[in-house]
Amino acid sequence: MITQISNHILKLQGKAELPREIEIGQNYHISLEGGVPSFSETDNEDGTHSRVYIFRPIKIDLLDPKGNSLKLKDTRSKSQLFRARVWAAWKDRPDNLTFEEYYDALMDNLIKFAPEIVNMYQPKLPYGAH
């Protein structure tokens, strides 16, 4: 039997750090970039179901009432940002490795050669610091 979906609902989940204080009682325009990792269905008890999609924002732009943009922090962790960059490098490769195979092999190499990588890419101390 095919389930009839009578309505589709987008549920926003997450938070973002503001660069400064905003005013309570004002209307704001928000632009979101993110993904939908899951959905659920509930029975409406009339032969139909409602489907609720969970949306998790990654990048958020907020426009104040004057039209000024407040860029909010990217909500992803450094490891999530790194994994996304690795995926971008992997997708253009000609070999037949899945992303998980590629990522696991890359991470094994990063762990194995961590001292060399740290030496190459560690933050530089300011001039005169010890």
Residue 126 lies in a domain: no
The residue-averaged pLDDT of 98-104 equals 94
pLDDT at residue 39 tops 70: yes
pLDDT, tens only, 6-31: 999 999 988 777 878 888 888 888 88
CA distances from 66 to 25, 27, 71, 72 (A): 14, 10, 15, 17
> What residues have CB less than 8 Å from 51, skipping those under 6 apart?
5, 7, 8, 9, 39, 40, 41
Residues 61 and 89 in one domain: no
pLDDT at 48: 93
Residue 90 lies in a domain: yes
Strands 29-43 and 4-12, by their bridges, are unpaired
Residues 68 and 5 in one domain: yes
Residues 21 and 2 in one domain: yes
pLDDT at residue 78 tops 80: yes
Q: Which amino acid appears at position 55 of this protein?
A: F
Residues 96 and 35 in one domain: no
Residues 59 and 95 in one domain: no
pLDDT, tens only, 51-73: 999 998 888 888 878 888 887 77
Mean pLDDT of the chain: 87
Residue 128 lies in a domain: no
Residues 9 and 70 in one domain: yes
Residues 81 and 68 in one domain: no
Residues 89 and 66 in one domain: no
Number of domains in the chain: 2
Residue (of 46, 59, 54) closest to 8 by Cα position: 54
How does DSSP assign 25-66, residue by residue? T---EEEEEEEEEEEEEEE-SSSEEEEEEEEEEEEEEEE-TT
Residue 89 lies in a domain: yes
Q: Give the structural domain span for 38.
A: 1-75
Residues 88 and 49 in one domain: no
| Whole-structure pTM value | 0.54
